[in-house]
Amino acid sequence: MKEPKSLATPASKAPIPLLPRIASGDLRRDEDMTAQEVRQLLQLAHDVKEHPERYRLALAGQSLALLFEKPSLRTRLTFELAIQQLGGGAISTNGSIGEREPVKDVARNLERWTGAIVARTFLQATVDELAEWSSKPVINALTDLYHPCQALADVLTLQEHFGSLNGLKLAFVGDGNNVAHSLMLQSARLGMNFALATPPGYEAKPEILAEAEELAQQQGVVIETTHDPAEAVAKADAVYTDVWASMGHEHEAFQRNLDFESYRVDEALMGKAGSKAVFMHCLPAKRGLETTDGVMESPRSIVFDQAENRLHAQKALLLMLLGLR
């Protein structure tokens, strides 16, 4: 791999420092980035956000493929805008990947035409197979197990709000789903305590929890799991929730609504968190189910800061995977 070049555009006379790189070459799951690489991404995202003009030709001449098996607002539009604002181009498809032809053939076609593949899929195995067969970077834009791009935007938002991530407590109330997995892993590696409150039967995957606990031990922080929302949010700096029935689980919505009834993040539950605790949600939100309209619209809510930071974190991710070499 060639060394990256400094980027300079007509809009910025000062040369930009060499771009940091992601050694794995892909972002299939959160573990594909080291803690140091995540910290470099956060620093780069902040600079991209403050000085977008510096990077507006960074991906000039490059085209990326966006493959979406699931509906999307924030992920699709922020990736399209990120690529566009960095000077590149995007092509997109909807529908099942690997239905008309094998995933390995899709990957080897796209690697001939595009500089990277961004895939939002039902199964983690689809992203893994794309990465196995593509010589170009593959980015996980959400699977059944992970949502790394969301977690990167979330830790960027927390860093902006609190100034530092070290020692913060992030509490997640609801389903032990892909978002919970990614947040748990990023929290542990970046020195944040993490608490997860789920109804019985909806816990995080044991193997992902075990990995997060090992990372947390290395960083001197704690991963807590409980079935008590009040216990999870006690002294929390941020309280996070997500829909109770994620895409692919809509047929379980009736039963899940019953099982999760006492896991709603309302004003009373927020009152049990730290006095300066913020409220977070990856959106879209089902107001009246996993949270209330009052919490969503309260001064504590930073959900739209999270949504904005999807754009900046993903720009930094693209730069670290594809920036000029």
Q: What is the pLDDT of residues 112-164, one digit of tens each?
A: 999 999 999 999 999 999 999 999 999 999 999 999 999 999 999 999 999 99
How many whole angstroms separate alpha carbon 174 and alpha carbon 200? 11
Of the residues 282, 306, 312, 314, only one is catalytic, namely 282
The owner of tokens 């009373």 is 268
Q: Which of 280, 175, 189 is nearest to 237 (CA)?
A: 280
Instruction: Note the pLDDT of residue 250.
Output: 83
Q: How far apart are CA 110 and CA 112, in angstroms?
A: 5
147 noted as active-site residue: yes
* Catalytic residue of the set 40, 150, 159, 314: 150
**Beta bridge mates, 110:** none
Kindly tell me if the per-residue pLDDT of 17 is higher than 70: no
> What are the residue ranges spanned by the domains of the chain?
30-146+309-322, 150-306
Is 149 among the residues known to form the active site? no
Q: What angle do CA 298, 302, 308 make, to 5 degrees?
A: 135
- In this chain, the answer to whether the domains covering 30-146+309-322 and 150-306 adopt an identical fold is yes
pLDDT digits (tens, 9 = 90+) for 43-83: 999 999 999 999 999 999 999 999 999 999 999 999 999 99
- pTM check: above 0.85: yes
150-306: CATH topology is Rossmann fold (3.40.50)
- Provide the pLDDT for residue 15: 55
Fold exhibited by the domain 30-146+309-322: Rossmann fold (3.40.50)
pLDDT tens per residue, range 186-215:
999 999 999 999 999 999 999 999 999 999
